[in-house]
Amino acid sequence: MNSKSKKAVKSLENHHKKLSEIKTVQEGNSWKATLKDMLNQYIGSESSISKRLDELYFTRKETQIHNVGIGHSIVHVYDESKKQDFSNLIENSISFIRENGIYQNPNRKNFLSGFNNGTIISGIVVGTGIIYGAGHFFGNLEKDREIIKMERELNKQKATNSNLENDIKTLRIENEHLKVKDTTKTK
């Protein structure tokens, strides 16, 4: 039995214990409404167990004959013995969950359907932060690589310019020497 089924069984057992505390119709109706929600969640609203709950009541019908006037009326009176029907229904529900697990909604078909809205929104916020941070980091890294590449190219250009300037100086000196030699030969 998985953890969700164990949680469902424990929840139903706790609710079963509260059945003995019911003393009025109002308490019983509130307790029954909570049980209905639990059964819809754990077994499904279309299950026969959940539908059977709709037919159970904490009251019985009694006919009262009025002495003052003519006639009678039907009233609903709280009946402690009706609790046994609810007890049996909860026991059957627990047995069903232990044997079959909890209800899986067939409309939930994607992996996000198992999460509530708060969890999904938190995940989106965290995911967006991670993507932004990674983009910022890798963007700065790429910018730094481009700067380093440009500095290397600039240094190569400077070295080439320096070499060319040295070559130009050497050629000027040689040219001056050649001019001096040429003028001395012509004299």
> How many residues are present in the chain?
187
pTM for the complete prediction? 0.51
pLDDT digits (tens, 9 = 90+) for 159-174: 999 999 999 999 999 8
Q: Please determine, for residue 187, whether its predicted confidence score (pLDDT) is greater than 80.
A: no
Please give the pLDDT value at position 67.
67
Q: What angle do CA 98, 17, 62 make, to 5 degrees?
A: 110
| 74: enclosing H helix or E strand | strand 72-78
* Domains identified in the chain, total number: 1
Give a yes or no: residue 84 inside a domain: yes
In this predicted model, what pLDDT tens digit does every residue of 14-65 receive, in sequence order?
Answer: 988 888 888 888 888 898 899 898 888 888 878 888 888 888 887 877 777 6
- The verdict on residue 80 lying in a domain is yes
Residue span of the structural domain in which 90 resides: 3-104
Percent of the chain with pLDDT over 70: 89
Instruction: Give the H or E element holding residue 23.
Output: none
27-66: b (≥16 Cβ within 10 Å) or e: ebeebbeebeebbeebbbeebebbeebeeebbeeeeeeee
The DSSP letter of residue 43 is: T
In a domain? residue 39: yes
pLDDT over threshold 70, residue 108: no
Looking at the domain assignment, is residue 184 inside a domain? no
